[in-house]
Amino acid sequence: MPPMWYQLIKILVLLFALFTTGTNPTTVPEQQDQAQRTRQPPENLMHHMKTTTPPVIKRDIPQCVEDQANHKSKSFCTQVENYPDLSLIKGKLSQNFSNFFSDPEPVPVDISSRLGPNDEVFLCRSRRRYLYPKSGLKSDNTWQFIVNNDEFKQGILIEECENEEMPCDYSLSFPQRYKPICKQHYVLRMLASIRNTSGELDVGQESFKIPSCCKCVLKVL
């Protein structure tokens, strides 16, 4: 009889073990995955956090806000988002750089189809404008702030190609081994500019590229 009781006890223990494991379907990996999901923020909250982060704007690099529809110049910008406050260098501008702010503004002339006294025709169309730029392209092809506000004005007269890198007028009249194209020409001019030295504003003079005319040049094919 005792061996029979032992067999019954073993069967009952096995049945109890099977019953307890069958009623708990959540395995250990599933429990860990659920715990990880509860620690993470909702997906829509993470997307909101990414989209609301403001863009980083470097203070020493001009951020131009003009576009081609507003006739933006390729080498100057008249609207700058992060333009600095010039009140801290007002005294230095008045004392040391007053000669930069004395040029009168000339009257622009339409020269899109200029004719000389002897009916000379220019082969490239251009557009002349007078600007008060707040940033510009220097001779080393880097951008820098230019002093220009209601009190300290620096005007520049520029002439830019309307169709740069496009064929010149009367291009079919040239020999076939040449390709005439319109090319922008620049001159250098010194302007009072703004420097950011060790986090402090300063003023100096830099050489900037001024669009001066549009030339027709020949490329040999």
Is residue 200 situated within a structural domain?
Answer: yes
Is residue 18 situated within a structural domain?
Answer: no
| pLDDT exceeds cutoff 60 at 36 | no
* Helix, coil or strand: residue 138: strand
Entry pTM: 0.63
Is residue 81 situated within a structural domain?
Answer: yes
Q: By residue range, what is the domain housing residue 85?
A: 66-106+119-163+187-210
Q: CA 164, 168, 171, 175 torsion: positive or negative?
A: negative
Q: How confident is the model at residue 57 (pLDDT cuts 50, 70, 90)?
A: very low
Is residue 153 situated within a structural domain?
Answer: yes
Is residue 4 situated within a structural domain?
Answer: no
Is residue 148 situated within a structural domain?
Answer: yes
Is residue 169 situated within a structural domain?
Answer: no
Least confident of 19-28, 117-126, 139-148: 19-28
Which contacts (CB < 8 Å, 24+ apart) does range 204-209 have? 205/97, 205/100, 206/138, 206/144, 207/138, 207/139, 208/75, 208/76, 208/136, 208/137, 208/138, 208/139, 208/146, 209/75, 209/136, 209/137, 209/138, 209/139
Is residue 52 situated within a structural domain?
Answer: no
Residue 205: give its domain's CATH number. 2.10.90
| pLDDT exceeds cutoff 70 at 100 | yes
Provide the domain count of the chain. Answer: 1
